[in-house]
Copies of this chain bind each other. A is one copy, B any other.
């Protein structure tokens, strides 16, 4: 029976080789949709040949359809959505970039959004409407099935980026008294149950989790064995108010596939599965580079005005720090008039110091984000960075010192070499201590560290170099 059935399937379903996700002529070697393919879709859209658009998109995995939307321009996106309505599955919507999704949702009538919401899991539905303004949310929820609406409103009651927002309410929880056989019979009988679960939660009479059964253990065990003998008692319980960054770190650290979410009283209210968390893990790990550069969210689909306001804020802050550095130069204006070579060389000292500071800052911010840096090893890191800075400083100082001596004179060479060592060491220390200080003050070290580190490295660079030039009697104030 299995055989014949397999035959039937092979007729309409191509053999596995052709159903391998992310391969075939639409993809380049890095699993991205080929520009040629995107062009084909574009042309079909312009010529308004909806059938050929559909035929092009139909073979794609939902995640690839989502990518296609992101690669198209704004107006093309709505045309595509219209051309492939019945391919716009919940997976596609869930995989869409937040900004693209929000943009499309705003362009759709409330009824249409409500229809999509009805077929989504709670967590995806929440993601779909959480960024809309309250009025739109209400208008859409009004047209959603009552029980779905209740679940969604319940989720929206939790703070943004909290476990309560992220969790799925659909899960499998069974009493401690069950045997493996009872569980299997229960799973076969209950057709209302979700099929998206990787572990079964065993709960006591208060619905508090007491253990977790990995499905593979259940399947490897005879029917008459008690679940309490198969389940793992060590659990990671996620409180509903835990921040998603913290959740992501727990999943990484304890290599979790799914985890129980509990309310204040310890009752099991939902579950988180790793496939929802991987996006957050990469988001949280990747955002530090953007935050340190002062680019905010830094998503290429972010609306122009958001990108502008996120970035200009830091440019203006940086303007302030640059003015401080300039004030130091102005103080030495007389010295520069006597020896213009100082103006020529001073940016080198500041620039290398800035680079050295950024290096140390990046290392420190990463260590903090990964929970690797605590009071227990901060001193060790400071000493380590001091050593690295000393080694780097001496190396660079020798190079610039010799070059300057050759081009100008040995005294100026000595001044810039010494200034360079001082600035690289100061920068290295600033790179560790500034982020650590922010972290101790419960501020995100990735956000504001750069501005302060840059100010320190620039100012110190100019001050050390010009100051030493005066102190050495090379020039006078």
Contacts and interface: CB of A to CB of B under 8 A. Distances in A.
A399 B219 contact: no
A396 B219 contact: no
A313 to B, nearest CB: 10
Interface string A45-79: 00000000000000001010001001111000000
Interface in A8-22: 9, 13, 15-17, 19-22
Q: How many copies does the complex hold?
A: 2
A281 interface: yes
Given A319-B396, A340-B336, A387-B304, A249 B195 contact: no
B329 A366 contact: no
Interface residues on A, range: 35 or more
B293 A358 contact: yes
A33 B343 CA distance: 50
Given A220-B188, A337-B337, A73 B348 contact: no
A222 B252 CA distance: 35
B274 A281 contact: no
A364 B188 CA distance: 49
A13 B344 CA distance: 72
Interface stretch (A112-120, A141-149, A158-166, A372-380): A372-380
Nearest to A363: B298
Interface in A336-387: 336-337, 340-341, 343-348, 350-352, 355-356, 358-367, 369-377, 380-381, 384, 387
- Majority SS at the chain A contact face: helix
A322 B396 CA distance: 12
B215 A219 contact: yes
A307 interface: yes
Contact of A351 (B32, B284, B322): B322
A145 B57 CA distance: 52
A235 B384 CA distance: 47
A28 B196 CA distance: 33
B187 A311 contact: no
A15 B209 CA distance: 10
A142 B304 CA distance: 61
Given A278-B281, A304-B384, A71 B362 contact: no
